């Protein structure tokens, strides 16, 4: 089982796990495969031990005596995400499924620590030295429900976007390898397979081994955080992790807050946190060329968080921003207003999901929309439309969509901004709106901006 849109990372810290049996340094790929095959197993979700798989991935042993394995959260999530779930997780050893218990999860990094009633002979160790870009790495997993496979790859460094941390790999991993270990040539853990880049060849991602060590320590210090039978408790725990993640994003956005000039408008941006693309919009103008000069900029965080396979949107905790500036050169005010109206209400500026209120069918409530007028210290007036929707399972978590328009003093220059904050509290969304509005100015009439 693989999940789209996972990107970003930090670097691997110096951590290690105690081992019952420590791998000898392999002298060949044969030895590496043989050693890792002793700690790598299929993890399946099904209704019973002998029932067909509903989903599957890979897990690997991190504590042999306790029967602890690491896999991806998205591999085992159905057991705790479905209300009144009859699904169970199993680890398949020598063809026999053994029921697994989820001890803890890290939803932001897509990790889960699971336990079975079984004592293994060996466990993996974490890589203790910093790995360098260009080094050879090896991804293990059970692709397409076949058998354990090992693929070579290259470590291309770390990516980081807010709370999302990933390793960028040139490695051809496939569905079913999710949750499998990524090792160096000594068989030590570098990362955990998590996703591939959509519509790409051999671009894939893994979670840094640092977070595996942190998750294990979390359970060793405080015990299991997940109960397969307590749906309400599990959802509150998931919500707490989402809230911590959105707080990290919000702080990172404030820390990276910058200003850029777009067609004489000074607008807020977020440095390396977002990926942006510029677009000249004159091709959308039906009037003669150069009667309006218009530019667009679309920015987004190239990552999201897997929430649930039930939901129409598998990810939350992301934000996007569209900014369009238009300068009227030869149109009359009615033509200019018509052009802006078309831009403001273009498909890129709308949010049209239609949810119902049945928790079993929809992730969130219907959007509630409203309008308001705001004015900043630079004497710019903003017409703001916004819509909010609350996640039914997580009442403190909202998706908020804003779009706004403002003009300079002459009325011939306009700025249209929209942005989506998904997975944020209403307080943080409002605070973000206020900061965006306050940091917009028109350079020609605000020389001190």
* Domains of the chain, CATH where assigned: 29-229 (2.40.10.120), 239-445 (no CATH)
147 burial (CB, 10 Å; 0-12 / 13-18 / 19+) is exposed
Cα–Cα distance list, 36 to 22, 32, 59, 139, 215 (Å): 11, 6, 11, 10, 21
- Distance between CA atoms of 286 and 289, rounded to whole angstroms? 8
Q: If you ran DSSP here, which 8-state letter would residue 122 be given?
A: -
pLDDT tens across 330-349, in order? 888 888 888 888 778 765 44
Place 276 in a pLDDT band, splitting at 50, 70 and 90. confident
pLDDT tens across 77-116, in order? 989 888 888 999 999 999 999 999 999 999 999 999 999 9
Q: Which residues contact 37 (CB under 8 A, 6 or more apart)?
A: 148
Decide: 304 and 317 in contact? Cβ < 8 Å. Answer: yes
- Distance between CA atoms of 334 and 446, rounded to whole angstroms? 26
Residue 284 pLDDT > 60: no
Token pair 């944020």: residue: 424
- Distance between CA atoms of 357 and 402, rounded to whole angstroms? 22
Instruction: Quote the pTM value.
Output: 0.85
- Distance between CA atoms of 19 and 425, rounded to whole angstroms? 42
- Distance between CA atoms of 98 and 76, rounded to whole angstroms? 14
Place 320 in a pLDDT band, splitting at 50, 70 and 90. confident
The 8 Å CB, 24+ separation contacts for 336-340 are 336/292, 336/412, 336/414, 339/285, 339/287, 339/292, 339/294, 340/405, 340/414, 340/416
Decide: 51 and 247 in contact? Cβ < 8 Å. Answer: no
Residue 3 or 196, more confident: 196
Longest dimension (CA), the chain: 80
Cα–Cα distance list, 420 to 226, 266, 319, 357, 387 (Å): 31, 20, 5, 21, 10
pLDDT tens across 129-145, in order? 889 999 999 999 999 88
Q: Of 66-75, 145-154, 332-341, 424-433, give the lowest mean pLDDT range.
A: 332-341
Say what angle helices 231-255 and 426-438 make with each other, to 10 degrees.
10
Token pair 């028109």: residue: 442
Per DSSP, what are the bridge partners of residue 56? 44
- Describe the strand order of the beta sheet including 441-442 as a list of residue ranges: 258-262, 265-269, 441-442
């Amino acid at each position: 089982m693989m999940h789209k849109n996972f990107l970003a990372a930090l670097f691997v810290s110096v951590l290690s796990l105690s081992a019952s049996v420590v791998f000898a340094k392999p002298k060949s790929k044969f030895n590496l495969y043989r050693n890792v095959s002793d700690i790598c197993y299929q993890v399946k979700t099904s209704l019973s031990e002998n029932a067909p798989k509903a989903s599957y991935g890979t897990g690997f042993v991190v504590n042999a005596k306790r029967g602890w394995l690491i896999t991806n959260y998205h591999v085992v999530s159905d057991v705790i995400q479905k209300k009144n779930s009859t699904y169970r997780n199993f680890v398949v050893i020598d063809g026999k499924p053994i029921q697994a218990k989820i001890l803890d999860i890290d939803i932001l990094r897509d990790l889960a620590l699971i336990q079975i009633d079984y004592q293994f002979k060996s466990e993996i160790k974490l890589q203790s030295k910093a790995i360098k870009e260009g080094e050879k790495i090896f991804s293990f997993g059970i692709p397409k429900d076949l058998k354990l496979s090992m693929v070579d790859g290259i470590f291309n460094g770390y990516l980081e976007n807010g709370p999302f941390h990933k390793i960028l790999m040139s490695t051809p991993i496939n569905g079913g390898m999710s949750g499998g270990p990524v090792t160096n040539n000594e068989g030590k853990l570098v990362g955990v397979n998590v996703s591939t880049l959509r519509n790409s060849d051999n671009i894939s991602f893994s979670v840094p081994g640092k977070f595996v060590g942190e998750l294990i320590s979390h359970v060793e210090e405080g015990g299991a955080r997940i109960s397969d039978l307590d749906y309400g408790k599990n959802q509150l725990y998931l919500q707490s992790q989402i809230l911590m993640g959105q707080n990290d994003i919000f702080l990172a956005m404030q820390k990276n807050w910058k200003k850029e000039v777009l067609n004489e408008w000074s607008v807020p941006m977020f440095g390396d946190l977002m990926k942006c693309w510029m677009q000249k919009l004159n091709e959308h103008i039906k009037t003669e060329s150069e009667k309006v000069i218009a530019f667009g900029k679309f920015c987004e965080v190239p990552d999201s968080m897997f929430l649930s396979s039930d939901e129409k949107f598998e990810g939350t905790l992301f934000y996007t921003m569209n900014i369009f500036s238009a300068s009227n050169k030869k149109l009359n005010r009615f033509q200019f207003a018509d052009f802006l109206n078309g831009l403001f209400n273009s498909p890129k500026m709308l949010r049209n999901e239609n949810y119902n209120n049945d928790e079993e069918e929809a992730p969130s409530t219907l959007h509630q929309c409203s309008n308001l007028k705001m004015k900043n210290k630079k004497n710019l007036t903003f017409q703001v439309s916004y819509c909010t929707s609350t996640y039914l399972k997580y009442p403190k978590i909202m998706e908020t969509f804003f779009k706004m328009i403002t003009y300079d003093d002459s009325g011939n220059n306009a700025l249209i901004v929209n942005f989506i904050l998904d997975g944020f509290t209403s307080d943080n969304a409002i605070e973000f709106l206020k900061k965006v509005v306050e940091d917009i100015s028109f350079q020609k009439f605000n020389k001190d901006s």
